[in-house]
A and B are shown apart, each in its own frame.
Chain A
């Protein structure tokens, strides 16, 4: 059983402490890593918050309570709520097929799954316009039947699914490949059904991959700007997601409000931290009880 948590490892191998770098090297490495992160991550985060709270908490809260802001938050939540489960389901199925079986064309398939990462956000929006737009393949038919895809919520969701498509699969495939299939085979030999094997054996093993995948997928789904911008239509209070609304506020010289709304998305990272900590804590409890 390999539970990929640092604390579990060190409790498992008491001599593990000796297997590390000398304290000087360790501190140096930590320092270098932290300086790098400070310059690239902490500073931008600080800049977002400092501008968000520049005019005090009251102005900050007022910016968030504004009607257009609330509707953009709602739209972003809906988008993520549809996107993440779909891509989660896809990621797990794809990982099962790819990691547990050998077949010709596997590398091609993996590469195709990666593809959305490398497609410029501008393009990921445009392709849906090319298909569903009025000048596109099925746009005229859609318009006749009064079905709106682009410049409406479905288009925003589609573009978001595209952009976040590989996340869960990408996390799971290497992990499941590394774990091999002996455990599953053993379970099957012992008489478990396929689904039982998946839920009782595979799933617990890849829990961390799934959690990482979902977190990344969710963060990106809520934060996507470029692709959504192309298919949104920018109708105030209707088709503006949080990132688009931030841009609008900024372009209205309403810097404080823009960064206040942007800080919501930065908070997402902190919520992520909580979810992960709670999950880790629970796993540790479980192990201690056993």
Chain B
């Protein structure tokens, strides 16, 4: 029995090696390491880019995708996952990779618009008919409203949610950091479950039927409606929210080693073309080219830089150990 097993093992290994060999023989492959909500966007975009590149350079390009929580993905790249390009949720995560020398400092200036070819924001997903009449951020802190959002310690998306609420309170008449913290504390009191990732929260809201409102990326909210039933949910766009700029960049160490710099750079540049921008718009991102028509509501958007002094500072103040999020949940001694 053991001998049979062993031969099958050998056969299996041989098979694995031969298929790996075949993949190497193909023209060129790129690995795009991205965060969770971009799966559908990049599945579409990769096809479009492959066609474009075939026409332009006569080369067949296959783009492999890897998705997961933004921080986890950044860690994988730091620890040696050979990503040619990263397209993550926050600049903070790309900075972490750059800190280890795999990406050149100043990466954010390499591409237009802070290396963010599309933007997004945080909106509300509510149950059909909006039974709790949720219109804006201040409706979320009312007693009896149950809010679903993931844990900002483990989810990049949740950090945007948290900061959006904070920024809203900050910009109210007489708003300051103390008031903002009170506001967010009240909001978190209404949160019954903190999932570890954005999609986990969506599933809790949709599948488990928990909560009256889900805080989500705009594109995620629309995707959830399309995938899970327009008859069950609707999107509410608050009057103001935060401007999320998910950055893209090549991983210098990897592209130089693999000799894929040219195609990797083209891959990212093509995101800024009309074609790329249209695909982003189709998946409910906000393209930076304002000529591309979008179906999304107008919102007053605050930037991380203006409201919080950049990601490094925001991370340290709010989400690092002992930051405002921890303070809210740790009982006072």
Contact = CB atoms under 8 A, between A and B. Distances in A.
Contacts of B81: 150-151, 233
A81 B80 contact: no
Nearest to A136: B79
B64 A237 contact: yes
B62 to A, nearest CB: 10
A251 B13 CA distance: 30
A153 B16 contact: yes
B224 interface: yes
B12 A253 contact: no
A134 interface: yes
Interface residues of B, number: 35
B29 to A, nearest CB: 10
A209 interface: no
A64 B203 CA distance: 23
Given A78-B13, A82-B9, A252-B39, A139 B79 contact: yes
Interface in A179-229: none
Given A234-B68, A236-B66, A253-B227, A81 B12 contact: yes
A135 B36 CA distance: 25
A129 B79 contact: yes
Interface string B13-42: 101100000000000000100001001100
Contacts of A153: 16
A268 interface: no
A85 B2 contact: yes
Contact of B79 (A133, A250, A251): A133
B16 A78 contact: yes
A18 to B, nearest CB: 39
B80 A143 contact: yes
Interface string A138-179: 010001000010110100000000000000000000000000
A238 interface: yes
A77 B9 CA distance: 9
A236 B38 CA distance: 14
A84 B2 CA distance: 10
A134 B78 contact: yes
Contacts of B224: 253
Nearest to A146: B257
Contact of A88 (B2, B8, B197, B207): B2
A235 interface: yes
Given A88-B2, A134-B80, A151-B82, A235 B203 contact: no
B5 A81 contact: yes
A160 to B, nearest CB: 13
Q: Which 10 A-B pairs have the closest CB atoms?
A: A133-B79, A134-B80, A253-B227, A151-B81, A251-B199, A81-B9, A233-B81, A234-B66, A78-B12, A235-B66
